[in-house]
Amino acid sequence: MSKMFDLSGKVAIVTGANTGIGQAIAVALAEAGADIAAVGRTPAEDTVEKVRALGRRAEIVSADLSSIEPVQRVVDETLEKLGGLHILVNNAGIIRRADSVDFTEADWDAVVDTNLKSLFFLCQAAGRHMIGQGYGKIINIASLLTFQGGIRVPSYTASKSGVGGLTKLLANEWATKGVTVNAIAPGYIATNNTAALQGDETRNRQILERIPAGRWGEASDLGGAAVFLAAPASDYVQGHTLVVDGGWMGR
C-alpha cells in the first residue's frame, strides 16, 4: 500500500464501533494497517473479530458516552491494551425525533450530551496525549445537518452543527502541534439511526429522488474517507468537513 495511505503501527479509537458506520470505519482503518480500540455501550465482538481476521490487533473498550464519566478511561485503556493512540474517530451518536413544539428537555439533553459534549471531552483527552507525542489524527462524524436544518430533530441538528464548529476550532488550536482535526458528514446511510426514514414510504422516495447516486449509502462507503483523513495523505487538511453523500449537497 502507498505510504500516503498506510496506517501500519497506528492505534485508532473508534466510538460506536459495534455496528453500522463505526464498524465499517474500524474495519477500513484495520485494512489500512491500524490496530483498533472498539468503544461502545455494548461489546463490539463482531467488529473485533473482523479486525483480527485482517491480522490486526483489536480490543473492546466498554463505555457509555451518554456522559463524560468514561472519557479518560477510554484513552487510558487504549494506551494500556494497545500501547499507543494515534487516531480518534468520534462516531458514537444518537437521535431523537419529535416536532419542535413537543420536543422534551430529556431528549434535548440526551442527544447533545452524547453527540457533542462527550465528543468534545474525548477530543480533549485524546488531544492531550496526541499533543504530547507531537502527532495525531482526529475524525469527528458530522452530518448533512451540520449544513442543513432538517425537520423534527432539533437536538440532533444543534449537536451536529456544533460538531462542525468544534472541528474547526480544534484544528485552529492544534494544527501547529502535529494534530489534524477534520470531520466526515455522511449522507443518507442505511443504518439503525435512519430506519424510521427508510420505513417511511413517502420520505424514502423523496430522499432517493434527490440523491444523484440514486441509492442510500452503505456504511462501507465511508471507509475510504476515514482512511484518507487518518493517513499521511491528509496531513495538510485541517478543519474540513468531508461530505460523503452520493451528491445530495450538490443537488
Under CATH, which architecture does the 3-243 domain have?
3-Layer(aba) Sandwich (3.40)
Each of the 251 residues of the chain gets a pLDDT tens digit; together they read 589 999 999 999 999 999 999 999 999 999 999 999 999 999 899 999 999 999 999 999 999 999 999 999 999 999 999 999 999 999 999 999 999 999 999 999 999 999 999 999 999 999 999 999 999 999 999 999 999 999 999 999 999 999 999 999 999 999 999 999 999 999 999 988 788 889 999 999 999 999 999 999 999 999 999 999 999 999 999 999 999 999 999 99
So which residues are the catalytic ones?
Answer: 156
- pLDDT tens column, 2-22: 899 999 999 999 999 999 999
Average pLDDT, the chain: 97
Looking at the chain, how many residues does it have? 251
Domain boundaries, given as residue ranges, for the chain: 3-243
**pTM for the whole structure:** 0.96
Residue 250 contacts residue 187 (beta carbons within 8 Å)? no
Tell me whether residue 83 is exposed, middle or buried, using C-beta atoms within 10 angstroms of its C-beta: 0 to 12, 13 to 18, 19 or more: exposed
